[in-house]
Structure 1
């Protein structure tokens, strides 16, 4: 028999602009659900974000809460997780994800689908999973910084595609894999290029790559379901890494990219995969496209390390 999940004192962080305002409506549904589920309106609080990185600030101060629910897309999940990582492990609240975004890759990794942002019945019997987190210590023109990611860090064309979705979403209203594909076709058009990259895996020698993509994954997908590392396990303490290297003409690179939707890109002789606990990439200039969970980062170099089982995350009871 499944036992009811005890959420404890709960904070709900809402991005009211997610999915063209759908998250704001979903927030009202969450409040009604929690009011009935907890029988105590004082046991939860709802806070709306108003500017970039606001969720990180809110979550970093959530030391009096047992659970923090992120209601929005991958960007909000990213910001919320970064804030929670600023809290010591002993006091760190549990993270819950209510997917109302265009990509929802982290929710997909947790075994969720889009309906679970509105149908909250799964929360009643959610299970708690210990999930890995990636740490990024980077150096850029503005100095040194630290960020985290829960799903993906990438550099090169795939990062340019993720970054390109920002304006494309505003101008076209596209979402999900259609948005990612449209941005991809733009980048593989006049924006196509290869990116020189020096990278060190673990304590190995430096590799000199002529790369188009480099994805460092905790979960299997990015870009709204592209199965870039199909076998990635978000709780095994290892990054799954996929990179495409060599003098790859656009006529070959584009089909390889499109085949990644179903994980079939791995059969290409240009595509390589491996696992590691740490990766150190050096980039050719500050304009090198970099992204973590879809959020842009500006850096010349980075040290990316695995933080095993850093977050306790709510997942549907039937997920693996």
Structure 2
């Protein structure tokens, strides 16, 4: 039986500090998996340069010259983490039997790859890497991250709890995933939609080896908004429900006003009127904002612009 070919897909954005350290770890893992017979020698470590402004691409090109198991592709500009992972996956479709996507910072336990491949050999097409605990996070980071997953679930987005983008995906799934054409992508919510047999592998996450995190709270919020508006229409339904509730309250208020008027106890109430106007104005602005977010997504989808553009590869230099 032929051994499967693996591509480890690693998105990189301004990683010149950490890349020289973690690249060696990824290469050692490839050689280890080859030695124990889990994968074929044609397996590769594929770095995806996401328009870095530092020396990341220069480092990737140098690594590819030092060992054939290193490969790299360079996007024409920065398109974001999700698009970088997508570019690496699509580039790998005709080159391997499975991919494992993982971040460059060394926080995800690469030893979990062994168990992922074992699950693949047992028939699983998608294997999610899931954090077993968050002891290394600050209280604020832990609370916001856990709240992020719970909020997504409440809003109707199907995700794997405490799973980011560390996962094994078979070539069969990649070919089906290629049919998903949306421009606004949220990978951790899209792969559960593909289906096929899947499972989870649990691991402990480490501290970042070097450099700074590229996912502050602002990007987490942006990712949550993208995930919700790309995969769920629940916010629009909540607007409808809120509109019905406000209409009922307003109808009751009208009846109460008429009763007071005919009884003859009507008193001009500026405070109550102002409160009602402000409340309804706030509801309308929030509703328009949510609808605008969806309209913006439709606008981008209709344009159907490329989700990534590969400007250069290390294979061109060989």
> Normalised by the size of structure 1, how large is the TM-score?
0.32
- Bigger fraction of residues in strand: 1
More helix by share: 2
Q: TM-score, normalising length from structure 2? A: 0.32
